[in-house]
Structure 1
């Protein structure tokens, strides 16, 4: 079986899932080739299991005109079982090739459908996205296939690596430093919890503002900016609580990664978590943008170990039942077998 991917994303949760899926499919004998941006930090994680073509596909770049011709030629030569674009912009790259099924995988809510003129099936990672595209007028195929993450428990890092004392409460979060990820809300929440340390993994355009906010709150001694990490699981494993504070989050891969390490999770009441989280059963849900609500939820978990253990166990159980590699990879392979 052969699959060609078109992925022009940067660095974040969607890219982590792309890496996970490419490797999962490779383990099942699927031959793959991918068009990606140059200089991606995660390229090394698919190199060797997936052929790679690098291109920016920018509006003023020669590749904007040459790459569509190239991917059509590649499809005709390779004769794959499926073509798969990741998100909206790469879907414009989808060639009008009639020899196989053409899929566009959506991890967010598109604003319009003209990206998908050559797409046969939209693969949505939540039911809400599926309903949204139908409401926009999509009449071709829709499938809901969610994400998975590695379920392997990893040994924690030593807290000394991040100049963090043993025994202090540690809250962790990670992602791109952009406003919708809500890191500013989380910083304000932790500022009201004396003695609680905060680890933030990631980077992005809001980094300078977040650092300034930490300084303004007098928190520099207990906040650690740890940058992008190829392997985040040892950091998650070393923390006490994981928090996702996004104002908009179609799924929330980072929650699945925290569940894999048996960590209790506090999440915003954004779209994805409202689908798969039940407050008090597999996590705690806080009001979007409300630092007091996040602080209260974090404090509940720190002060009630029975509750923390219960929601951590509930999260791990939900992960294993709904977001396993076998279930997700098998669903994609069955889809690849379809005729257009």
Structure 2
């Protein structure tokens, strides 16, 4: 089986899943090629057997003119079993090729369906996205296939490496530093909890604002900025509570990563988490932008070890039942076998 991917994402949860999936498919013997944005940190994590081409595919780049023709010729010459575009921008590159199934994968709610003119099936990672695209007029195929993450539990890092004392409560979050991730709000929530440390992994344009917020609140001595980490698992494993405070989160890959390390999770009531989380069973849910609510939920888990343990176990059970590599990879393999 041969599959070609088009992916122009930056650095975040969607990119982590892209790497997880193509590597899982490679382990199952799928021949793959991918066109990705240049200079991605995560490129080195991709199986070396997967052919990688780098391109910006920007409006004012030469590739915007040359790449569509190249992609179309390559499909006709190599005759793949499936073409897969990741999100809207990459879907613009999908050639009008009739020889295989053409799939666009969505991890968010599109507002414009014109990107998908050459797409046969939209794969949505939550039912909510599938319902949304039907409401706005999509008439072709829809499938819901969610994400998975590495479920191996790993040893925690030494907290001393992050200038964090042993024995203090540590809250962790991670993702791209953009406003909707609400890392500034989480910093405010942790600031209300004396003695609690906050670790934030990731990078992006909002980082300086979050640093300034920590300074304004007088908690720079309790906040650690970890930057982009190739492997976040040892950091998650060393934390006590994981928090996802986003105002908008179609799924929430980072929750799955926290569950893999059997950590109790606090999440906003954003779109993805309200689908797969059960309040009090596999996590604690807080209203979006409720700073005090996040403080109270974190404090509950720190002070009630029984509750924290029960929620952590519930999260890992949900991960293994709903978001396993085997189920997700097999669903994609079945999809790739379909005819257009």
TM-score (norm. length: structure 1): 0.99
Native 8 Å contact 1:107 1:250 kept in 2 = yes
**Paired position in structure 1 for 2:285:** 285
**Paired position in structure 1 for 2:203:** 203
CA drift of 1:49 comes to: 2.8
Matched, 1:172 2:186: no
**Whole-Å Cα distance in 1 between the matches of residues 165 and 191 of structure 2?**
18
**Paired position in structure 2 for 1:213:** 213
Matched, 1:71 2:71: yes
Native 8 Å contact 1:23 1:49 kept in 2 = no
Number of paired residues? 340
Structure 1 outlier segments of 4+, above 3 Å: none
**Whole-Å Cα distance in 1 between the matches of residues 142 and 49 of structure 2?**
28
Native 8 Å contact 1:264 1:308 kept in 2 = yes
CA drift of 1:78 comes to: 1.2
**Whole-Å Cα distance in 2 between the matches of residues 73 and 324 of structure 1?**
36
Native 8 Å contact 1:186 1:245 kept in 2 = yes
CA drift of 1:47 comes to: 4.6
Native 8 Å contact 2:4 2:84 kept in 1 = yes
**Whole-Å Cα distance in 1 between the matches of residues 49 and 238 of structure 2?**
31
**Paired position in structure 2 for 1:183:** 183
Change (3 A) 1:211 1:294: same
Give the gaps of 5 or more residues in structure 2.
none
CA drift of 1:185 comes to: 1.0
Native 8 Å contact 2:244 2:266 kept in 1 = yes
**Paired position in structure 1 for 2:28:** 28
**Paired position in structure 2 for 1:271:** 271
SS of the residue corresponding to residue 154 of structure 1 reads coil
Matched, 1:41 2:48: no
Aligned Cα root-mean-square deviation (Å):
0.5
**Paired position in structure 2 for 1:308:** 308
| Deviation by residue 1:298-329 (Cα, 9 ceiling, x = unmatched) | 00000101100011000000000000000000
| Deviation by residue 1:109-167 (Cα, 9 ceiling, x = unmatched) | 00010000000000000000000000011010000000000100010000000000000
**Paired position in structure 2 for 1:108:** 108
Give the gaps of 5 or more residues in structure 1.
none
SS of the residue corresponding to residue 42 of structure 1 reads helix
Native 8 Å contact 2:26 2:47 kept in 1 = no
CA drift of 1:173 comes to: 0.2
CA drift of 1:30 comes to: 0.3
TM-score (norm. length: structure 2): 0.99
| Deviation by residue 1:63-87 (Cα, 9 ceiling, x = unmatched) | 0000000100111111000000000
**Whole-Å Cα distance in 2 between the matches of residues 274 and 97 of structure 1?**
38
| Deviation by residue 1:213-236 (Cα, 9 ceiling, x = unmatched) | 000000011100010000000000
**Paired position in structure 2 for 1:94:** 94
**Paired position in structure 2 for 1:51:** 51
CA drift of 1:19 comes to: 0.2
**Paired position in structure 1 for 2:296:** 296
**Whole-Å Cα distance in 2 between the matches of residues 49 and 285 of structure 1?**
41
**Paired position in structure 2 for 1:232:** 232
SS of the residue corresponding to residue 221 of structure 2 reads helix
CA drift of 1:274 comes to: 0.2
